[in-house]
Structure 1
């Protein structure tokens, strides 16, 4: 691949396949950087750095569609709250600007919050921040041209862990806010107790720089912080996805969450495998030359 020429879709697919199930942000960001620089922003405008809380991390960006509303949006456009990942210790909403542009171009008022991170903040700080951003979105939906009854909540990786906790654990939900129209969980982790017991199998180092920073090192308390053990909300539409080349712990926990929701809690979730992608490439590809994940999420939301 020439340094001057953009990689083709096939070259990117080959790179992803040959690299395998690794999580290497600089590497994967580099593959998509040329496309991100020229991504389309047509049909959307950005309203940046809006505070939804007092902490410096409690800020959000809103991507607002500018195209004419569709007939089905007469009561307001759908709103998507999308929560970035970063292993509980890093990440920022601006790194997922491509998600904001892509879904706003599709007609969704798209809200991207940042949230408090470990090790300065511990469980359930991330979920509490998602709840606060959700409450903000609900309160401001109509002013943004959105329908407060059509709020979808999505997250990727650690963001999916926070979204799962916020939507599935009743006490973590914002007060006086109706259930989401749907939740969409992309390559998340939902059982910190399992991750502690299966470090050998999952290739997780000890100490664990990700989980111990956010959940602490009192391992006896891990079951009480594992979303799969705490589900108590009434069923609502939900999509669980993982990448074909996700590390084993993401695929196993997606399967466990799905199984528990179906057999123990009366849910009827959808599942999807994002073919040809790894943990990060599926997100970096959004609004570039590969729409696999974005289209999977859009198709699901349009059915709900």
Structure 2
């Protein structure tokens, strides 16, 4: 009995030592591989910089003719050492898990604030029978009749996020008298373009056809979104202004009223040309890599020339003034946002078309800063947006009733601003 016990103890000790040795060996070899991959990545950066004069990111150029002579085999070697696909999969899984956590925290916050802020949330309504999407949360202000209906499209690089993770934005709007339809839509890379826009169109048509049932009949409608959602929102808005041959957009311009306002915030508005970010020496390779990933996941073998609304900003820049009235445009971005130039181009394009444009640039702010309402710049953003919507609705009411005059001064078309200079108490009112 004692001998068998000693044998078991000895065997357990040997197993433990072997397991520890195997684990440490694996860890050391993994570290060597990672160090080698990092060194190889640095060599690629230097090689590409010498060849092109720009910083290299983790993605190959789209055209093989743009690749340096020794680029292909070095890239294949690096991807063999540390598979980029595995890295991306784990990264996206982590991000989706984080967004799920934000959703849970958000539900707690909404429940705690329900008595203070009279907003009724109708969760998981259906705007489509598509089993991959079709869910919408309706944020409805209690008491007074809503002032307008807002279709809100969340961001997330076309790949992550949901109506649940981005609950603060529709909630803030609903607290100020707007009924907000926050939708889920199909995400890339499983569902590349035009899946997101097909879902956005379905939500828009559902809102229009069910307007009486949804108690929004006679209300102006607005489309809004941030980041990748700004791209989808702008494309949907542009499809109401100009007839398109793309299947998802057909009939919108002819059969449905245009939005009263389009609100793309910090948008990625030209997805087909991520190479332009390589020309910016101030951007880290990690940032350009993520922009490439979003572009490749969303496009995935889509030809931008055959599907121009992939880049709604380019379509807007190429439009000419038509007889149909242009909606008002509100846009905002932080000056530290890598997508800053897209917002600047959007402002110029909207002004060229004669649209009322309110563009705001927040000094030193990062991407999607407006999603953090405890920050002063975020409160300033929401105050500007709410003031813009108030002005748009007053103008719309005045156009329906010419004998009435708006009591508040209107904004000049094309006005721009940086950080708000209002007092802290005034900023606080924007989000409370």
Give a deviation string over 1:248-286, Cα, whole Å, max 9, x none: xx11011112222333x3333221124564223311328
Larger radius of gyration: 2
User: Following TM superposition, by how much is the alpha carbon of 1:178 offset from its aligned partner in structure 2, in angstroms?
Assistant: 0.2
Report the counterpart of residue 199 of structure 1 in structure 2. 278
Which deviates more, 278-287 or 78-87? 278-287
Query: Which of residues 140, 147, 151 is equivalent to 1:64?
Result: 140
TM norm structure 2? 0.55
Report the counterpart of residue 90 of structure 1 in structure 2. 160
TM norm structure 1? 0.76
CA contact (8 A) 2:362 2:377 kept: no
| Distance in structure 1 (CA, Å) of the matches to 2:291 and 2:227 | 20
Against the structure 1 CA distance between its residues 95 and 287, is the aligned structure 2 distance closer, same or farther, given a 3 Å change threshold?
A: farther
CA contact (8 A) 2:100 2:165 kept: no
Against the structure 1 CA distance between its residues 191 and 92, is the aligned structure 2 distance closer, same or farther, given a 3 Å change threshold?
A: same
Report the counterpart of residue 227 of structure 1 in structure 2. 312
Secondary structure of 2:229's counterpart equals: helix
Give a deviation string over 1:142-169, Cα, whole Å, max 9, x none: 3333244411111000000001111113
- Runs of at least 5 residues in structure 1 that lack an aligned partner in the other structure: 1-23, 70-75
Indicate the structure whose relative CO is greater, using CA pairs within 8 Å and at least 6 residues apart.
Answer: 1
Against the structure 1 CA distance between its residues 166 and 152, is the aligned structure 2 distance closer, same or farther, given a 3 Å change threshold?
A: same
Secondary structure of 1:254's counterpart equals: helix
Give a deviation string over 1:202-228, Cα, whole Å, max 9, x none: 541299221101112567759833223
Which deviates more, 158-167 or 137-146? 137-146
| Distance in structure 2 (CA, Å) of the matches to 1:173 and 1:293 | 34
**What does 1:96-245 align with in structure 2 at a 5 Å threshold?**
96-169=166-239, 170=242, 171=244, 172=249, 175=252, 176-201=255-280, 202=283, 203=285, 204-205=288-289, 208-216=292-300, 221=305, 224=308, 225-231=310-316, 232=319, 234=324, 235-245=326-336
Query: Which of residues 44, 50, 55 is equivalent to 2:119?
Result: 44
State the aligned residue count. 272
- Runs of at least 5 residues in structure 2 that lack an aligned partner in the other structure: 1-93, 393-432
User: Following TM superposition, by how much is the alpha carbon of 1:192 offset from its aligned partner in structure 2, in angstroms?
Assistant: 2.2
Against the structure 1 CA distance between its residues 151 and 287, is the aligned structure 2 distance closer, same or farther, given a 3 Å change threshold?
A: farther
Residues 1:253 and 2:332 are matched in the alignment: no
User: Following TM superposition, by how much is the alpha carbon of 1:87 offset from its aligned partner in structure 2, in angstroms?
Assistant: 0.2
Which deviates more, 87-96 or 284-293? 284-293
Say which structure is richer in strand. Answer: 1
Secondary structure of 1:153's counterpart equals: strand
| Distance in structure 1 (CA, Å) of the matches to 2:272 and 2:214 | 40
Give a deviation string over 1:106-138, Cα, whole Å, max 9, x none: 111111001111112222222222222122222
| Distance in structure 2 (CA, Å) of the matches to 1:200 and 1:91 | 29
Report the counterpart of residue 358 of structure 2 in structure 1. 270
